[in-house]
Chain A
Amino acid sequence: MQKLFLFFWKNHFTVLFIVLEVIAFSLLVSNNSFQQSRIHESSVTIAGTVYQFQHSYTQYLGLTEENEKLRQSNSELIQAQLNTKNQRQNVHGNFQVIPTLALSSTYQQENNYIIIDAGKSDGIKPASAVISTDGAVGIIHSVSENYSSIIPIIHGSSDISARLKNSSYFGQCKWGGIDPKTAELENIPNHVEIAEGDTIVTRGSGGVFPPNIIIGYAQESKKNESSGFQTVTVRLATDFRKIHSLFVIINSLKPELDSLINQTEEWTGE
């Protein structure tokens, strides 16, 4: 204690200076609104910087949950969009969208497949359409209790009814079997002029895919003079090398459509 007093006495000039300045500073801050607001401003800036720094690290902790929420809201939006489109045009179906995650997928084989983490218990039915946020992906093949397999567009037996967006001529979209970035649109009459970049969408005729889901964009077309039909190379909208979030579209009116098609076929067959 004595040493402390001694220290203060030895440095009494500096100590007195600091004390007086502290008093003056507190007078300044408590009586001048400008300086006061500046101090508030600085403290907010400092606190903000610290919290931002903290946030930049802690935000990753909630990322899985956040992604789940985003998928959910995305699926709701897609569903709403599909169903309003249908109201404006003819009724093609009543669509329900289920968000899922791809567990495994291939793109280098002749017959590629995708496995997703939703199955019968989530309401997935075989022969339902699967899309990503970029465009069409494929069709559900088989469904187990909690998982489902998808036949993507890049599968040897994939066959999706597609049409040109701006001319409504339609054909079959198949995969050439080599490049996971392109597919082929067949059976388009030779006289239809196709420009590079023309959008190719689903036709929605079988009740599987909703109409007007983007499949891809025309790259080039080869006209076959003997058959009278051209084959269009389509640059796929979905990148099958980066499959992650997928949405399964269940059409609740499909059974009705299927039975009607069956009846018609039986009748024509007779």
Chain B
Amino acid sequence: MDRRIITLTIQFIGLVLIQVLILNNILFSNLLNPFFYIYFILVLPVDFRPSVGLIVGFLLGLSIDVFSQTLGMHTIATTFAAFCRPYVLSYMAPRDGYEFSRLPSVKEMGWLWFGTYSAILTFLHHLILFFVEMFRMSGIFNTVLKSLGSTALTVILVLIIQLIFARRTSTSYE
């Protein structure tokens, strides 16, 4: 249990640093802004308590906001993603439940499942984020387009990281 908390903390700090130090400084295009830190919410264990997940999401968003001078934006989006996560998980539950696979990952659930799961949550997160950033209904088409493009980029990054680290992180909770 302690080991799990330490791993999560390291993951949390590492992702915030990657986001604010590297990814925030890379401007791919106006339509493509990857927010990879959402990876932390994606790979929380299935049995992670939803209300604790909310607080963790809130803190994660707040940390990103503090470093990117956008207080509130990422907090709103990430808290929302953490709120949606249990519902997405129960919606996408396999026939025999998550009993033998407590960790959402490519290794446990397969490419298709994990890709869909990541895409749904990431899109919800990005949509709220860009909507709060634009803060108007008139540019909604542009916002959705931007969310779709950035979601694709983020999901690709998530899958690459899964490909590299999935084996190691999945065993770390045993």
Mutual binders A and B: yes
Interface residues of A (CB under 8 A from B): 12-13, 16-17, 20-21, 23-29, 31-32, 34-35, 38
A62 to B86, CA, bound (A): 61
Other A-B pairs beyond A16-B51, A32-B73, A38-B135, 11, CB < 8 Å: A13-B83, A17-B54, A20-B75, A21-B80, A24-B62, A24-B75, A28-B72, A28-B76, A32-B71, A32-B72, A35-B132
Q: Is B162 in contact with chain A by the CB < 8 A criterion? A: no
Chain B residues positioned under 8 Å from A31 (CB to CB)? 71-72
Assess the A28–B51 pair: CB atoms within 8 A: no
Minimum C-beta distance from B54 to chain A (A): 5
Q: How far is the CB of A217 from chain B (nearest CB, A)?
A: 51
Partner of A13, one of B51, B70, B71, B76: B51
CB of B135 to closest CB in A, whole Å: 5
User: 10 A-B residue contacts at CB 8 Å?
Assistant: A13-B86, A17-B83, A20-B54, A20-B57, A23-B58, A23-B75, A27-B65, A28-B132, A31-B71, A32-B72
Bound Cα distance from A213 to B169, whole angstroms: 98
In the bound complex, what is the Cα–Cα distance between A127 and B42 (angstroms)?
96
A32–B70 contact, CB under 8 A?
yes
Mask: chain B, 11-29; 1 = CB below 8 Å from A; 0 = not: 0000000000000000000
* B45 touches A (CB below 8 Å): no
B149 within 8 A of A: no
| B135 and A35 within 8 A (CB) | yes
Report chain B residues within 8 Å CB of A26: 72
- Tally the A-B contacts, defined by beta carbons under 8 Å: 57
Ordered nearest first, which 4 A-B pairs have the shortest CB separation?
Answer: A28-B72, A24-B75, A27-B72, A31-B71
Interface residues on B, range: 20 to 34
- Decide if B51 touches A12 in the complex (CB within 8 Å): yes
Closest to B49 in A: A13
Taking the closest CB of chain A, its distance from the CB of B57, in whole angstroms, is 8
Q: Which B residues are CB-close (under 8 A) to A29?
A: 72
User: Residues of B at under 8 Å CB distance from A?
Assistant: 50-51, 54-55, 57-58, 61-62, 65, 70-73, 75-76, 79-80, 83, 86, 132, 135-136
Contact of B73 among A12, A16, A28 (CB under 8 A): A28
Tell whether, in the assembled complex, residue A21 and residue B79 are in contact, meaning their CB atoms are under 8 Å apart. yes
Closest to B76 in A: A24
Q: Is the CB of B76 within 8 A of A21?
A: yes
Task: Give the shortest distance, in Å, between A47 (CB) and chain B (any CB).
Answer: 18
Q: Which A residues are CB-close (under 8 A) to B61?
A: 24
Q: Establish whether residues B136 and A38, one from each chain, have CB atoms under 8 Å apart when the complex forms.
A: yes
Cβ–Cβ < 8 Å partners of B135 in chain A: 34-35, 38
Q: Select one of A12, A20, A32 contacting B58, CB under 8 A.
A: A20
Do B72 and A24 touch across chains, with their CB atoms under 8 A apart? yes
Would you give the shortest CB distance from B140 to chain A, in whole angstroms? 14
Cα distance A155–B61 in the bound complex, in angstroms? 87
Residues A20 and B72 in contact, CB atoms below 8 Å apart: no
Shortest Cβ distance from residue B59 to the other chain A in the assembled complex, whole angstroms:
10
Residues of B within 8 A of A23 (CB): 58, 75
Of chain A, the residue at the smallest CB distance from B78 is: A24
> Closest Cβ of chain A: how far from B150's Cβ, in Å?
19
In the bound complex, CA of A98 to CA of B70 (Å): 67
**A53→B79 CA distance, assembly (Å):** 39
Tell me, in angstroms, the Cα distance from A36 to B83 when the chains sit together: 25
Residues of chain B with a CB closer than 8 A to A27's CB: 62, 65, 71-72, 75
